[in-house]
Structure 1
């Protein structure tokens, strides 16, 4: 559900064959690295282009500027989880707690799985602008899916809307809180962290365990 456009680009000024990435993905990788290490405000489009091994003018055949790069990076942290959530919502075989646990676990792995802590970009003040409406919509859709999975459980299905919304806020906030954990302890094992946070999410929701 990306709001960014797609352009046919020109060849890169300098090839970086060791990456195996397309020119467009090379730009996203470069932006991810620079935004999370130097900072978004301190990173220029020229720096992104040079890091990707191309001319700045060539970069504009793929992206209109920093905002579009950032928007696509942000959306990449939520769109896979939303797709999974929709599949889980359509699953009428797996028990609801197990479905919720799987979404929590997978979401944490997505937020922690890449080489750069892209979730940390959520905290940028620039992200509140209209330019990132697409990201906020996908994130809101994902949160709504969490709520639907919670409502499908026996423990939460009897709650009124206010209490259900509160538990959804708590679970969703816990999962996104992995962004700060990763910032303070980047070497923590992702699989173990994902499992522990998914277990904690179910306890916070009052659902019990995935096997219930």
Structure 2
């Protein structure tokens, strides 16, 4: 309390954006824009706070600094797909492993390519290789392992040896994450069509026959609708 008896709150800037976002989400949105537009190294915490319409001291109530903001943004590009992958692996319905894999691939691509900023491009920052981002790498590895489990359950990969299966998974997962660069070069490409085409390509890498793709795609869409 102040000497006048009025409660003293955390310092805030006079104006906030009209987004309606909570303060923490406002900071993440501001950081996402500045990291992708200006570059991570060229962005200061003061500039992020100002774009979010608050004082730098207020920002530190939510995040310890730029690394914390970047880590939260990166994990946000993975955790929704990991959540879906867990549901797909746990679901005991009739959908094939191929349909589940297609569903995950399409959803993952949509996540990476949807939104005002290409957050996936931040994966390429050298800072992301440091220990501070171990949490991001942990959830990303779990997602990759989920891809591998779905891949191993497909008819075309069921009889593969361990090394060949690891290679197939590297190729499929690498293809999905490659959309980060493709989307950056052509951000106006329709995302849903792009996601479906990438999921088709991933299943072809997995060994699914081209003639089977249409039926797999339809089954995957029915599965996705049932999981909503």
In the superposition, the TM-score normalised over structure 1's length comes to 0.93
Matched with 1:40 is 40
- Please state how far the C-alpha of 1:207 moved relative to its aligned partner: 2.4
- In structure 2, list runs of 5 or more residues that go unmatched: 1-8, 217-228
Structure 1 spans left out of the alignment, 5+ residues: 1-8
1:49 is matched with 49
Match of 1:162 in 2: 163
| Aligned: 1:175 with 2:176 | yes
Structure 1 residue 20 displacement after superposition? 1.0
**Inter-partner Cα distance in structure 2 for 1:37 and 1:196:** 28
Residue pairs, 1:93-132, within 5 angstroms: 93=93, 94-132=95-133
Aligned partners of 1:10 and 1:156: how far apart in 2? 57
Structure number, greater radius of gyration? 2
- Count how many residue pairs are aligned between Structure 1 and Structure 2: 204
Q: Aligned-residue CA RMSD in angstroms?
A: 1.3
Residue of structure 2 equivalent to 1:76: 76
| Residue in 1 that maps onto 2:30 | 30
SS at match of 1:137: helix
TM score, norm. by length of structure 2? 0.87
Residue in structure 2 matched with residue 87 of structure 1 by the alignment: 87
Mapped partners of 1:163, 1:210: distance in 2? 26
| Offset from partner CA, 1:124-166 (integer Å, 9 cap, x none) | 0000000000000000000000000001111111101100000
After superposing on structure 2, the runs of 4+ consecutive aligned residues of structure 1 that deviate more than 2 Å are 9-12, 14-17, 207-212
